[in-house]
């Protein structure tokens, strides 16, 4: 069998209409716009209306993605959703998306890898296509972070927003294009620095866990920041060097949108000018698994796309677990 490479055929997204600005947060917790901007680069974030759920966003991002590709849902082989905020513990959000789309022959599941959920799902989908067992795989990053954010905690409530974005992976028509490499890492010792205390089998939901506000994000910011700066920078630089490239060869760097300072540090480590770095954190905050595909959407759907055929694109992320990784893509069309 000839070599099969996976490439991104199409991108779609969904953004809730409601905006939560820094000025809004000033009336909710002890914070201010200047403090938030200087530490994170975030001006506002999107918030999904209560009761709609993750699959509501994921389905709408998927529909736009498929429409742009001219592909029917019935043609999909598989659906993978990267998320830490599923509609429910089970069934998987991917099952709900499959049913709503009418993707009758597709199978699917969710991947929980924090802010690396999309990147890990992308790697899995790529290997599914390379193996020859699947051809069209829909990968969605979707998170309703407002559902697990404590809006009395000034250190975390400023960071997160809600959004979904999807990419359709297909068999690349030409052999020298598409995904070239992935580097993925996990270090479970990071559990104590970024997690949700209750709601799992170790600490099931009770009146006590609810009253103690244990069903929200818990983060030790300085520890996470220190590791994220080091590891996301390192893994992004590593994938370039491993493939015989330099920062000058990279047309676009698409990083996870957690903090502008982390993004800047990674770009410096790679030797990439800021003009080739995609950022939208100011508009959306940290949407966890949705950040990278949201950035891809903006880079590809602009009137003047920021990538052309043959361009090298690097993606990198860091998240809870700890998890981190990078991907190298040679853009087709």
Structural contact between residues 82 and 139, judged by C-beta atoms closer than 8 angstroms: yes
34/239 Cα distance (integer angstroms): 36
Please give the structure tokens belonging to residue 270: 């790679």
Measure Cα distances from 74 to 11, 71, 131 in Å.
Answer: 18, 8, 21
CA distance 123 to 129: 10
Give the pLDDT score at 112: 97
Q: Per residue of the chain (333 residues), give pLDDT as tens.
A: 678 999 999 999 999 999 999 999 999 999 999 999 999 999 999 999 999 999 999 999 999 999 999 999 999 999 999 999 999 999 999 999 999 999 999 999 999 999 999 999 999 999 999 999 999 999 999 999 999 999 999 999 999 999 999 999 999 999 999 999 999 999 999 999 999 999 999 999 999 999 999 999 999 989 999 999 999 999 999 999 999 999 999 999 999 999 999 999 999 989 999 999 999 999 999 999 999 999 999 999 877 789 999 999 999 999 999 999 999 999 998
The per-residue pLDDT for 3 is: 85
* CA dist., res. 249 & res. 251, Å (int): 6
Residue 166 CB: number of other CB atoms within 10 A?
Answer: 31
Distance (Å, whole) CA 288 – CA 257: 8
Q: Which residues are catalytic?
A: 115, 256, 286
Please say whether the beta carbons of 111 and 120 come within 8 A: yes
pLDDT at 304: 77
Judge whether 191 and 21 are in contact, CB under 8 Å.
no
User: Hey, what are 244's tokens?
Assistant: 């015989």
């Amino acid at each position: 069998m000839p070599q099969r490479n996976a490439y991104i055929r199409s991108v779609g997204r969904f953004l809730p209409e409601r905006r939560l600005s820094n000025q809004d947060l000033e009336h909710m917790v002890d914070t201010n716009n200047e403090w938030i901007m200087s530490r994170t680069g975030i001006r506002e974030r999107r918030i999904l209306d209560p009761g709609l759920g993750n699959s509501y966003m994921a389905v709408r991002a998927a529909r736009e993605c498929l429409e742009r590709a001219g592909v029917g849902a019935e043609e999909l082989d598989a659906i993978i959703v990267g998320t830490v905020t599923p509609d429910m513990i089970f069934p998987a959000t991917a099952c709900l998306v499959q049913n709503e789309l009418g993707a009758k022959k597709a199978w699917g599941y969710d991947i929980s890898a924090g802010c690396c959920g999309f990147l890990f799902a992308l790697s899995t989908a790529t290997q599914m296509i390379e193996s020859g067992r699947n051809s069209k795989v829909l990968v969605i990053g979707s998170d309703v972070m407002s559902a697990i954010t404590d809006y009395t905690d000034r250190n975390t409530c400023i960071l997160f927003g809600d959004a979904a974005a999807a990419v359709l992976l297909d068999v690349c028509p030409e052999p020298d294009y598409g995904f070239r490499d992935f580097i993925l890492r996990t270090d479970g010792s990071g559990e104590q620095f970024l997690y949700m205390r209750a709601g799992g089998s170790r600490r099931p939901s009770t009146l006590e866990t609810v009253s103690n506000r244990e069903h929200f994000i818990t983060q030790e910011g300085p520890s996470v920041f220190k590791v994220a700066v080091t590891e996301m920078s390192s893994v992004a630089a590593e994938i370039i060097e491993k493939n015989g490239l330099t920062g000058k060869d990279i047309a676009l760097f698409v990083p996870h949108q957690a903090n502008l300072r982390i993004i800047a540090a990674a770009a410096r480590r790679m030797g990439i000018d800021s003009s080739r770095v995609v950022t939208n954190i100011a508009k959306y905050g940290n949407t966890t698994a949705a950040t990278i595909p949201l950035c891809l959407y903006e880079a590809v759907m602009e009137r003047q796309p920021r990538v052309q055929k043959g361009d090298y694109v690097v993606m990198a992320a860091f998240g809870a677990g700890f998890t981190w990784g990078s991907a190298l893509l040679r853009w087709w069309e």
